[in-house]
């Protein structure tokens, strides 16, 4: 399992190894359009750590991991936090910005791709969101503690209607009301959304929706209760996937009380929970007791395992107890489960149906509570395999800059792939791509991206 191991990583620096010492405990995870990885300091692993290797260590850090060199840096200064950590993070490729939830104050922060706080930097669900639909407000407690349940946002995910000529966008998010130890007879965990202004990319406070008012109970005990949703993903057809995480305190996970739910939203209708027509159960059943997700979910774009035919991709979920020792010597698998696109059960034990990946490669022990989020990168576009690789030699370095200069000023060789030489991704090759590359190589600028002409 690759984690930018040292010695031998591209920067030859032990501080760039992706481990607990350098990053601490992280849960939130996303990628930008250049392939850089972003993770958030989090407090949901029983024993949490906020190191000072790359930041102040307050719990409000967003770390950027360079997609080519693996180098770790801060996206921006630490968000206001006194040890509660952040929730989750999502990238908006339309406006090159991030949204991240904060467990300390309950706010959603809006940050540009270069780390600058933008416009209406914060969105307050407990006050602005609830008031917009006529509910009583829940203000922050303004104390060095977790923000109250009911205003606490965890999962955040962008949804953009690419079929609409205006490409209207919404930020969809989850609200944590209850969990295993704090069952609420009056309120249930919810899914909300806020519109994104199509001109500025800012929060549209006139367009706030309560999407799914109450998630279905996982148990009928104490009037019914559910686990909080920690991650959201969308299928290309608009179906929404919700991954719960078993929790029994603000910063304390448990296991085997969390599901992977799928909802569909027919036109002019409400969200409907997708169930197996034969069994009446959810279409996705994950790990032990069929309710053991660890809180991460994403949709793949085709099968990465050529022996298993799944051309439209799989749904991947982090989980506890994907496989257990039933017969002495059988492996314990705690990690990722890959399920068929339209539904499946990881307990089938059929490699042509489900795939198991143990994340610590230790099959003799069960390591509960240690799994987090999962993200699948988008596939390369057209002929572009390595962004910025103007000379098409499989690497991005100074030789690509000289190739570009020769092409512009001396009529040099034509690139094999136009989308690879277009380093800044604006679909035209000119001197701006050369200066973009120089800034990247010599000044740590933004990573190159693929053009989108398909040529």
Q: What is the CATH number of the domain that holds 424?
A: 1.10.1330.10
Residue 446 lies in a domain: yes
Provide the pLDDT for residue 397: 84
SS (H, E, C) 288-327: HHHEEEEEEEEECCCCCCCCCCCCCCEEEEEEEEEECCCC
The 3-class secondary structure across 85-119, one letter per residue, is: CEEEEEEECCCCEEEEEECCCCEEEEEECCCCEEE
The mean pLDDT value of the chain amounts to 86
* DSSP labels, 387-448: TT-TT-SS--SHHHHHHHHHHHHH--PPPS-HHHH-TTSSS--SHHHHHHHHHHHHH--PPP
Using pLDDT thresholds of 50, 70 and 90, give the confidence band for residue 377. Answer: confident
- Residue 206 placed within a domain: no
Beta carbons within 10 angstroms of residue 149's beta carbon: 19
Q: What is the pLDDT of residue 448?
A: 81
**414 domain residue, yes or no:** yes
pLDDT, one tens digit per residue, over 378-399 is 765 566 767 788 887 777 888 8
Q: Which residues contact 166 (CB under 8 A, 6 or more apart)?
A: 198
* Structural domain boundaries enclosing 441: 385-455
Residue 343 · residue 283 · CB < 8 Å:
yes
Average pLDDT of the segment spanning 119-145: 93
Inside any domain, residue 453? yes
Confidence (pTM):
0.83
Q: Do 331 and 359 meet the contact criterion of CB atoms below 8 Å apart?
A: no
Name residue 90's beta-bridge partners.
99
Angle between the N-to-C axes of helices 431-443 and 398-410, in degrees from 0 to 180, rounded to the nearest 10: 160
What are the φ and ψ backbone dihedral angles of 23, each rounded to 5 degrees?
Answer: -110, -20
In a domain, 75, yes or no: no
Cβ within 8 Å of residue 71, ≥6 positions away? 10, 11, 13, 16, 65
pLDDT of 11 above 60: yes
Q: Has residue 396 been placed in a domain?
A: yes
Residue 419 lies in a domain: yes
Give the model's confidence band at 409: pLDDT under 50 very low, under 70 low, under 90 confident, else very high.
confident
| Cα gap 247→257, rounded to integer Å | 8
- Is 275 part of any domain? no
Instruction: Count structural domains, the chain.
Output: 1
Tokens of 174: 């989850």
């Amino acid at each position: 399992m690759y984690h930018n191991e040292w010695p031998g990583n591209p920067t030859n620096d032990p501080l760039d190894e992706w481990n607990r010492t350098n990053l601490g405990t992280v849960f939130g995870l996303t990628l930008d359009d250049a392939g850089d990885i972003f993770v958030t300091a989090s407090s949901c692993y029983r024993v949490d750590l906020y190191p000072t290797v790359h930041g102040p260590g307050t719990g409000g850090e967003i770390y950027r991991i360079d997609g080519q060199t693996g180098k770790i840096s801060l996206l921006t200064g630490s968000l206001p936090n006194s040890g509660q950590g952040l929730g989750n993070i999502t990238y908006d490729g339309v406006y090159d910005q991030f949204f991240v939830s904060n467990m300390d104050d309950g706010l959603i922060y809006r940050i540009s791709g270069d780390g600058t706080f933008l416009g209406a930097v914060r969105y307050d669900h407990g006050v602005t969101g609830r008031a917009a639909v006529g509910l009583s407000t829940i203000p922050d407690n303004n104390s060095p503690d977790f923000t109250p349940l009911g205003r606490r946002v965890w999962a955040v995910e962008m949804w953009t209607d690419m079929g609409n000529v205006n490409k209207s966008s919404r930020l969809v998010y989850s609200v944590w009301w209850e969990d295993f130890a704090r069952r609420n007879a009056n309120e249930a965990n919810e899914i909300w959304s806020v519109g994104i202004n199509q001109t500025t990319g800012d929060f549209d406070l006139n367009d706030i929706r309560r999407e799914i008012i109450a998630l279905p109970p996982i148990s009928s005990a104490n009037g019914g209760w559910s686990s909080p949703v920690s991650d959201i993903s969308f299928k290309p057809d608009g179906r929404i996937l919700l991954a719960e995480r078993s929790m029994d305190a603000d910063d304390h996970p448990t296991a085997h009380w969390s599901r992977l739910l799928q909802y569909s939203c027919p036109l002019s209708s409400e969200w409907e929970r997708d169930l197996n027509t034969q069994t009446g159960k959810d279409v996705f059943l994950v790990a032990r007791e069929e309710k053991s997700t660890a809180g991460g979910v994403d949709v793949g774009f085709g099968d990465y395992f050529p022996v298993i035919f799944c051309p439209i991709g799989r749904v991947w979920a982090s989980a506890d107890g994907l496989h257990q020792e039933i017969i002495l010597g059988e492996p314990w698998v705690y990690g990722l489960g890959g399920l068929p696109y339209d539904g499946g059960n990881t307990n089938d034990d059929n490699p042509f149906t489900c795939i198991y990946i143990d994340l610590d490669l230790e099959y003799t022990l069960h390591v509960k509570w240690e799994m987090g989020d999962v993200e699948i990168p988008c596939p390369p576009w057209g002929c572009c395999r390595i962004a910025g690789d103007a000379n098409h030699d499989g690497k991005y370095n100074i030789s690509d800059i000289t190739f570009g200069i020769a092409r512009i000023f001396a009529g040099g060789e034509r690139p094999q792939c136009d989308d690879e030489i277009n380093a800044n991704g604006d679909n035209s090759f000119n001197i701006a791509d050369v200066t973009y590359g120089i800034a990247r190589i010599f000044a740590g600028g933004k990573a190159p991206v693929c053009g989108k002409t398909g040529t």
